[in-house]
Amino acid sequence: MPKNFGFVSTRFAGTDGVSLESAKWAHVLWHDRHVSYWYSGLSDRASDVSMCIPEAHFGHPEVQWLNQRIWTSSRRSPLVSRRIRDMAQYLKRSLYDFVERHNIDILVPENALTIPMNVPLGLALTEFIAETGIPAIAHHHDFYWERTRFSISAVTDLLDQAFPPRLPSLAHTVINHAAQEQLSLRKGVGSLLIPNVFDFDSPAPEPDEYSKDVREELGLKEDDIFILQPTRIVPRKGIEHAIKLVAMLNDPKYKLVISHDAGDEGFEYMHMLEELAREEGVDLRFIGERVSEVRQLDARGRKLYTLWDLYPHADLVTYPSTYEGFGNALLEAIYFKKPIVINRYSIFVEDIEPKGFKLAVIDGFITREVIRTVGRLLEDEEYRQETVDHNFKVAKRYYSYTVLRRSLRMLVTNLTGFTPKSSSDVTKVPASDK
């Protein structure tokens, strides 16, 4: 029978991994007539199927106030404890309202029980699921123990309690084998591995009237080689390897284009890349101000393009990350049938590389063999087409919506045994909490 799914996170907006993957889950669920609803602190979902509670967002002033006091310290004050609990109770009541309003059958916490960007929300979800017994699927993207910023904490007890919790009606899903192993070791719970996926059954969009002038707008000549780095400018993306690659190709027609801005991690890394590019004689272009989540015009009347507008024009995609939870940009490049240069980050080595993709692979540094492979991919059209077609077939086998559909159907089948006899059993706020 069709179910009502309630997705819960700090944010469902933009192109971050949680927002993108949750939308894919909802799309696949809709094929089985399941309806999805959304609870978050920031949302771009339709208002009739969503509930936006500002305090659920990690950027809310109260949450930021708490985060300033619970990280980089091993002790917290009674005031901080009280404010965490007060906010958790408020968010828990709003979860009761959300579930009651939309008659939710299955709850899907999206990274909200995984990484403690909003500790009160994690506590609220844990208590709500414990009190109601509602079937729930925790979709884990990146755990707090994978981030050094959370290594010193004044909320260790709360992390043990809620990130993630161990509850009878809560199933766990992870996106890579390393997370699956660590979750088992640290929390003693099993999980289902569901990798990030892509709709490989639908053809990639071709340039249209709006996007046909991308190269011209970016200042690229007809014979320039457009090398796309489709990521934010943060140290773990390893962009210095892309600069070294272009330098060793030693041809002024190769242009390295970075699609996104530096974001919230500072500009020191960006300045370092600029200096490195000057020293290596690499034409490096930052086009973050011309890339948006949707097509629109900026204040100067210039077109803003989406990342998907850029891919069809790229000749090569670089992805030299030192760490990724999975690697959405890799799947996107394969989807658009582009040759790829990739660094062997740990998740790639364990989860993706064994699948048999044909990629130009960096193992921590650029070698002459990598340069020869890239040169052949760019110059030998027949070899390039054979390579990208092979990668597309492999990705379709292992990372398509079909794979996700099978996993979700199994989860739903297993969880329906937890479904209460009456939805009113789980959707009413206890009188003591009103």
Average pLDDT over the chain reads 93
d(CA 320, CA 341): 7
pLDDT-derived band at 417 (thresholds 50, 70, 90) equals: low
> What pLDDT is recorded for position 83?
98
Query: Helix (H, G, I), strand (E, B), or coil: what is residue 106?
Result: strand
> What pLDDT is recorded for position 265?
64
> What pLDDT is recorded for position 368?
94
d(CA 170, CA 189): 10
| 224-239 average pLDDT score | 94
CATH superfamily of 214-398: Glycogen Phosphorylase B; (3.40.50.2000)
Checking if the pLDDT of 289 tops 60, the result is yes
- The answer to whether the bond into 164 is cis (omega within 30° of 0) is yes
Q: Which residues are 228's β-sheet partners?
A: 257, 317
Strand 296-297 to 283-286 pairing? unpaired
Checking if the pLDDT of 206 tops 60, the result is yes
Checking if the pLDDT of 290 tops 70, the result is yes
Q: Which helix (H) or strand (E) holds 21?
A: helix 17-31
Query: Helix (H, G, I), strand (E, B), or coil: what is residue 88?
Result: helix
> What pLDDT is recorded for position 425?
46
Please say whether the beta carbons of 254 and 341 come within 8 A.
Answer: no
Please say whether the beta carbons of 332 and 259 come within 8 A.
Answer: no
CB neighbours of 406 closer than 8 A, spacing ≥ 6? none
Checking if the pLDDT of 252 tops 90, the result is yes
Checking if the pLDDT of 423 tops 60, the result is no
pLDDT-derived band at 14 (thresholds 50, 70, 90) equals: confident
Predicted confidence (pLDDT) per residue in 333-368, tens digit: 999 999 999 999 999 999 999 999 999 999 999 999
Per-residue tokens: 167: 């509850």
> What pLDDT is recorded for position 422?
40
Residue tagged 């990598």 (tokens):
370
Burial of 8 (0-12, 13-18, 19+ CB in 10 A): buried
d(CA 298, CA 290): 8
> What pLDDT is recorded for position 421?
40
**Quick one: what percent of the chain has pLDDT higher than 90?**
88
Q: Which long-range contacts (CB under 8 A, 24 or more apart) does 80-86 make?
A: 80/154, 84/119, 84/120, 84/123, 84/155, 84/158, 85/120, 85/123
pLDDT-derived band at 264 (thresholds 50, 70, 90) equals: low
> Do 4-197+400-418 and 214-398 share a fold?
yes
Q: Which residues are 305's β-sheet partners?
A: 291
Query: Helix (H, G, I), strand (E, B), or coil: what is residue 129?
Result: helix
pLDDT-derived band at 263 (thresholds 50, 70, 90) equals: low
pLDDT-derived band at 105 (thresholds 50, 70, 90) equals: very high
Q: Where are the alpha helices (DSSP H) in 251-337?
A: 268-280, 307-310, 328-335
Q: Which residue has the higher pLDDT, 267 or 35?
A: 35
Query: How is 196-216 classified by DSSP, letter by letter?
Result: --B-TTSPPPPP-TTTTTHHH
CB neighbours of 424 closer than 8 A, spacing ≥ 6? none
CA angle 333, 336, 342 (to 5 degrees): 20
d(CA 330, CA 339): 10
CA distances in angstroms from 143 to 26, 186, 355, listed in the order given: 22, 11, 25
Checking if the pLDDT of 424 tops 60, the result is no
**C-alpha 367: how far from chain center:** 30
pLDDT-derived band at 148 (thresholds 50, 70, 90) equals: confident
Please say whether the beta carbons of 80 and 69 come within 8 A.
Answer: yes
Predicted confidence (pLDDT) per residue in 170-195, tens digit: 999 999 999 999 999 999 999 999 99
d(CA 219, CA 240): 22
Checking if the pLDDT of 329 tops 80, the result is yes
| 33-58 average pLDDT score | 96
pLDDT-derived band at 207 (thresholds 50, 70, 90) equals: very high
| 290-301 average pLDDT score | 93
| 289-318 average pLDDT score | 95
Checking if the pLDDT of 428 tops 70, the result is no
Query: Helix (H, G, I), strand (E, B), or coil: what is residue 256?
Result: strand
> What pLDDT is recorded for position 419?
40
Enter the CATH code of domain 4-197+400-418. 3.40.50.2000
Q: Where are the domains of the chain?
A: 4-197+400-418, 214-398
**Quick one: what percent of the chain has pLDDT higher than 70?**
95
Closest to 104 measured CA to CA, from 137, 61, 71, 75? 137
pTM here is: 0.88
pLDDT-derived band at 416 (thresholds 50, 70, 90) equals: confident
CB neighbours of 148 closer than 8 A, spacing ≥ 6? none
d(CA 59, CA 41): 9
> What pLDDT is recorded for position 262?
81
Q: Which amino acid is at 327?
A: G
